Amino acid sequence: MPELPEVETVVRGLRPVLTGKTITAVRVGPKALRFPWPESFADRLTGRRVQALSRRAKSVVIALDDDQVWLAHLGMTGRFVAEAAGGVHQPGAFYDASPRQPGHDHLSLDLSGGGRLIYNDVRRFGYMKLMAAADLEAAFATLGAEPLDPALTPEALYDLCHRKTMAIKPVIMDQRLLVGVGNIYASEALFLARIDPSRSAQSMSLADWRVLLAAIQQVLSQAIAAGGSTLRDYAQIDGQRGGYQAHFQVYDRAGEPCPHCQTPIQKRTQTGRSTFYCATCQT
Ligand SMILES: [Zn+2]
């Protein structure tokens, strides 16, 4: 499933493809995605010029020139594929390892300049929304902070969490607190911060939060930096995994030696999800 770094990579890949382009024609397939297509979706997109692309949590946010915003969520297997006028190019907008599945193109946009943008989604858990720009903030009202937002401080996280008795790992994965810290990144960040994933959130000092927030930001930034190339390779290596896993220090490495101390990495289940950690380094 695409996580924050993959969606950020998609946004960065789509930005040069879409920004400033006018959508000249829209074809919507016969099947609904996770939700029905927005009413008059094709009509409302046709003729619009794309002003800017951004990301909020795992949504691609596409601002149009009539104060509408098009939100795209990739679900499990959604991907955008851009075709330039001169041939196919893939602007880092792939996530899934398999080749684009024929028969699963659900949306196709013609762009000024001759390019084309296709949305392909085998499992159709993705979805699209179209709303007034003024309604965007309300649509995201339940979401927590963006971990890479420079305005986010360790003090803010400490204040929100210092009475929580839950373990720190599910706390940092709670999207109402912090968006985009998925299961892989939670294990990796806690390892980097040398914090035991089972420690209660209320045991975290402000100094601990400083270390942990920096670790979360480092892990996500590295994944985004690797995203452009590894996600492209990802589609070529094998059916399940790509170069991405080369970055993992502990995730999915149970029994392998800790990179710091050689103690075998342990695996434990927390709130139904696998956690990987070093019992020696993480306290
Ligand atoms: Zn260790």
HEC-encoded secondary structure of the chain: CCCHHHHHHHHHHHHHHHCCCEEEEEEECCCCCCCCCCCCHHHHHCCCEEEEEEEECCEEEEEECCCEEEEEECCCCEEEEEEECCEEECCCCCCCCCCCCCCCEEEEEEECCCCEEEEEECCCCCEEEEEEHHHHHHHCCCCCECCCCCCCCHHHHHHHHCCCCCEHHHHHCCCCCECCCCHHHHHHHHHHHCCCCCCEHHHCCHHHHHHHHHHHHHHHHHHHHHHHHHHHHHHHHCCCCCHHHHHCCCCCCCCCECCCCCCECEEEEECCEEEEECCCCCC
258 Cα–ligand 1 center, Å:
5
250 Cα–ligand 1 center, Å:
9
What is the CATH number assigned to the segment(s) 154-277? 1.10.8.50
189 Cα–ligand 1 center, Å:
14
What is the CATH number assigned to the segment(s) 4-139? 3.20.190.10
Average pLDDT by consecutive 10-residue portion of the chain (283 residues)?
83 88 96 95 98 95 98 89 65 46 88 90 93 96 96 97 96 95 93 98 98 96 71 38 67 95 97 96 97
Give me the active site residues, please: 2-3, 58, 273
Q: For the chain, which residues make up each domain, given as ranges?
A: 4-139, 154-277
4-139 against 154-277: fold identical? no
Tell me the pTM. 0.85
Q: Residue 95's pLDDT is what? A: 39
